[in-house]
Amino acid sequence: MNSLLIVDDDLEVLDLLKKFFVQHGYRVEVATDGASLWAAIERQAPDLIILDVMLPGDSGLILCQQLRIRHTIPVIMLTAMGELSDRVVGLELGADDYLTKPFDARELLARVRAVLRRVDERRPLEQERRRPLIDFADWHLDVTRRELRSPDNVMIPLSAGEFDLLLVFVEHPQRILTREQLLDLARGHCHDAFDRSIDVQVSRLRRKLESDTKRPAMIRTVRNGGYLFTPSVTRR
């Protein structure tokens, strides 16, 4: 049974979402601000966090950034209708998906299932790989530990979404992948037809991998094509 942590300062929303997800077979903890979020994680880390942007004290955006530094727990952010900047910033800070309010609880359920499915699908693949250490351009990706190390052997923190996207790239090196293919391979088939969030995650990866993000050498944009991961890849 998967566990969720829902963070929202609207007690009515918390109560409704908790009942809804419990009815669908999830263990649910709730929090109303940053302090209760960290306390809940300290008691038991959830499998996924549903995090509202508008919170008292530290905002959901700040908490998302702190979560990415400390944990690899997937995060789905809830943002106000029309607040595109919140959605973009949330993805920039490491959120794995977002949903705008008001929303249908069934859509949130579908997104929760999709994110958890991606995480679950990666685990057996990672365990079964005979050579889980991947090298590219003097970078080192440990698939089992989900760790990325720079050429200087510095560990670079990755969100769950960033790791999944990088894994897609290293598994399909020197091949043009369309945005649709990247979304399917990294997230499964549960995504919007015009979802451009993959561009945001590519941008985040570039900032962590590229020495010059204005002239990216590793992840190149192919006009009317998609993206090309240029380094050669070896396993050991």
CATH number for the domain running over 129-235: 1.10.10.10
Instruction: Indicate if 129-235 has the same CATH topology as 3-119.
Output: no
pLDDT tens sequence across 178-212: 888 888 787 664 444 445 678 888 999 999 999 99
Distance CA 207, CA 226 (A): 18
Q: What is residue 199's predicted lDDT score, i.e. its pLDDT?
A: 87
Cis previous bond, 151, omega within 30? no
pLDDT at 122: 62
Ordered by start, the domain boundaries in the chain are 3-119, 129-235
What is the tens place of the pLDDT at every residue in 93-142?
778 888 888 889 999 999 999 999 887 766 555 554 445 789 999 999 99
pTM here is 0.58
The CATH architecture that domain 3-119 belongs to is 3-Layer(aba) Sandwich (3.40)
What residue type is 57 in one-letter code? Answer: G
Give the DSSP per-residue string, 18-30. HHHHHHTT-EEEE
Confidence class of residue 80 from pLDDT cuts 50, 70 and 90? confident
Contact 52, 78 (CB under 8 A): yes
**Cα separation of 75 and 98, whole Å?**
8
| DSSP string for residues in 62-114 | HHHHHHHHH----EEEEEETT-HHHHHHHHHHT-SEEEEES--HHHHHHHHHH
Q: Max Cα separation, the chain?
A: 52
Task: Tell me which of 79-88, 115-124, 156-165, 227-236 is least confident.
Answer: 79-88
